[in-house]
Amino acid sequence: MVGIGTLIDVSLTLTGGICGILFGRFMTKHLQDSLMKSTAVAVIFIGLAGALSGMLSIVDGKLVSGQTATIVISLVLGSLVGELLNIEFQVERFGEWLKYSTGSNGDSTFVDGFVAASLATSIGAMGVVGAVRDGVGGDWSMLALKGAIDALLVCTMTVSMGKGCLFAIIPILIIEGSLTCLARLIEPTLIPAAIANLSLVGSILIFCVGINLICEHTFRVANYMPAMLFAVIAAFL
């Protein structure tokens, strides 16, 4: 069944968020803070590992770096477009609407939790490639694996940042569902070089999400998201 991968990802993420809410009730503020910092460190190193694996290679027994131009051009152009569109503000405004609609006006961390969890679970090549595979051949295995990772991530984030993280399922559903529906149009563009660039830039943005979990609002990560599109385009130049 085409589209089941997105439903699995959403279901697992929702389950992780609910577990986080339940567990969070029994944890002290000190323990919640410690768990949040642990999650941030994990996210930072996941992003760092992905970025380094995309930049570094061994040639003739020597470690060499590359993709510098792709990173710089993608991030500069992506951030320029993102700032002009003010994507971060739009995401935060949607988060405020969710906060009001769900009767969570007294939850001061709702919007930050929603934004952070949405970015952490929606950025990267795994969701894009997995959704296209699901749409083209009904192969939902990659999205199921992503769902398990998202569930653990959202569970720990919900414990310390509240139920706003739970609503990360909305962008997951919209993004992965749309990519699945458009899979046959997108598939020809996902050549190996495009996937590699997408993974590289996506990993850098995940690193930035991790930094924001420790030092709030250091990066307006949502405004960098168009960089992933420019990374794919760069693969064809």
What was the pLDDT predicted at 60?
Answer: 77
For residue 123, what are the domain limits? Answer: 4-234
Cα 86 to the chain's mean position, in Å?
A: 18
Both tokens of residue 151? 């569930």
What was the pLDDT predicted at 191?
Answer: 92
What was the pLDDT predicted at 131?
Answer: 93
Mean pLDDT per 10-residue run, the chain (237 residues)?
A: 89 95 86 88 93 86 85 96 96 95 90 94 89 90 94 92 94 95 89 93 94 90 95 93
The pTM for the full model equals 0.90
Cα 131 to the chain's mean position, in Å?
A: 14
What was the pLDDT predicted at 76?
Answer: 97
pLDDT in tens, 2-18: 789 999 999 999 999 99
Rounded Cα gap, residues 174 and 179, in angstroms: 9
Nearest to 179 by CA among 229, 136, 234: 136
What is the crossing angle of helices 110-122 and 169-181, to 10°? 30
Domains of the chain: total = 1
